[in-house]
């Protein structure tokens, strides 16, 4: 069972009969499937108004995917790219043009047909503006090495092993200002999941790849590390744990040498899991230091101290988020669709 199906099954089994009426702000022209809440904003603190203004518009801009993930805004191309993990494809969306297939295969380049979630998941740009991919099927962090005009994509391995053992399935990643790559490695891309005989590592870890290629295990005590991000000053590492039994976000202190310590609970959403679709998944950190983190109910907005300021309710399990270049727009991948939240103003 894939992570998406497990999440949906858990939520649908416990959600029946439980309804919450919240203030509707706005939503896109595409129809909301029966039984789902229309996208809207739930406000729990006045602080949220500075991040998500009262007139914030929420639009569904694309639908029809198996499990949309890893959104990334490409400013030079004015294009959003995002993964469809089961389809082993990265798609592109541009205003006025809609969706096109952008990169295939994205995460599994083998010849043997395989099921599960083989494609790329998280996407990022390295310090030179090249595309990095957390590849489930090839079980590595990779860099796109050839032009998209080539008949078949060519990838360079950034990291595939730790102490001689192959990663499980790199899931999400972020790049710091020095060019070091941080990523999570849960079992979601393994065909057999936790019990897959191809699994080599005992740990579902969080890793740092230094610019010289050295791989360091920085967090080893999370059951399902998933989304990852750094505070604006890069002194704090945030990691989501997508385990329904411990649906939490953790914060860690980052030293100047890249070592990590002082793990502490930032926010615990475990009690919300039975009543709302989704688990702690992808996240982005706003320049203000606030987190936009996908989890039960949609996108949770958390203060750096772990206070829940509100939610952007997506109506289906939200997977990941990305800002545009000036943080005036938030893009959200949620199950089979992509949403756009117009925040306005930006960071300037």
Query: In the chain, how many domains are there?
Result: 1
Which range marks the domain in which residue 305 is found? Answer: 3-342
Q: Is residue 348 part of a domain?
A: no
Q: For residues 73 and 323, is the Cβ–Cβ distance under 8 A?
A: yes
pLDDT at 54: 94
Which segments of the chain have a pLDDT < 50?
A: 1-2, 4-31, 347-348
Q: Is residue 347 part of a domain?
A: no
**Residues contacting residue 93 through CB under 8 Å, at least 6 positions apart:** 61, 62, 79, 80, 81, 82, 99, 338
Does the reported pTM lie above 0.95?
no
Selection from 337, 318, 239, 231 nearest residue 272 by Cα? 318
**244's tokens:** 């329904």
Cα distance between residue 231 and residue 251, in whole Å: 10
Beta bridge partners of 200: none
pLDDT tens digits, residue range 302-340? 999 999 999 999 999 999 999 999 999 999 999 999 999
Q: Domain holding 182: CATH number?
A: 2.120.10.30
Phi, psi of 198 (to 5 degrees): -80, -10
pLDDT at 344: 76
Cα distance between residue 151 and residue 153, in whole Å: 7
Q: Is residue 217 part of a domain?
A: yes
Q: Is residue 287 part of a domain?
A: yes
DSSP 34: T
pLDDT at 12: 32
Q: Is residue 216 part of a domain?
A: yes
pLDDT at 146: 72
Phi, psi of 318 (to 5 degrees): -85, 140
pLDDT at 37: 77
DSSP 38: P
Q: For residues 134 and 173, is the Cβ–Cβ distance under 8 A?
A: yes
């Amino acid at each position: 069972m894939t992570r998406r199906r497990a999440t949906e099954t858990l939520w649908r089994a416990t959600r029946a009969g439980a309804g919450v009426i919240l203030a509707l702000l706005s939503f896109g022209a595409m129809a909301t499937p029966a039984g789902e809440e229309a996208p809207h904003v739930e406000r729990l603190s006045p602080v949220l108004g500075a991040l998500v203004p009262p007139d914030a518009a929420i639009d569904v801009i694309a639908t029809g995917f198996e499990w949309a993930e890893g959104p990334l805004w490409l400013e030079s191309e004015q294009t959003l790219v995002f993964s469809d993990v089961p389809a082993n494809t990265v798609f592109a969306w541009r205003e006025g043009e809609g969706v096109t297939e952008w990169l295939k295969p994205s995460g599994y380049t083998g010849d043997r047909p395989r099921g599960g979630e083989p494609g790329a998941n998280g996407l990022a740009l390295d310090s030179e503006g090249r595309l990095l991919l957390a590849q489930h099927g090839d079980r590595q962090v990779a860099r796109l090495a050839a032009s998209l005009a080539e008949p078949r994509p060519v990838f360079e391995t950034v990291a595939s092993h730790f102490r001689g053992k192959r990663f499980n399935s790199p899931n999400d990643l972020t790049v710091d200002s020095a060019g070091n790559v941080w990523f999570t490695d849960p079992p979601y891309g393994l065909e057999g999941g936790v019990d897959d005989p191809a699994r080599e590592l005992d740990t579902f870890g969080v890793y740092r790849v230094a610019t010289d290629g050295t791989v360091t295990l920085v967090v080893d005590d999370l059951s399902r590390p998933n989304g990852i991000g750094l505070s604006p000053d890069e002194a704090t590492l945030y990691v989501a744990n997508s385990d329904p039994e411990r649906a939490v976000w953790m914060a860690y202190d980052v030293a100047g040498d890249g070592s990590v310590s002082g793990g502490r609970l930032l926010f615990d959403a475990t009690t919300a899991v039975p009543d709302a679709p989704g688990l702690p998944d992808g996240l982005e950190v706003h320049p203000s230091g606030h987190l936009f983190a996908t989890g039960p109910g949609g996108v949770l907005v958390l203060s750096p101290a772990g206070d829940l300021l509100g939610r952007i309710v997506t109506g289906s399990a939200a997977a990941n988020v990305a800002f545009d270049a000036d943080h005036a727009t938030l893009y959200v991948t949620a199950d089979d669709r992509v949403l756009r939240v117009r925040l306005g103003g930006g960071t300037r």
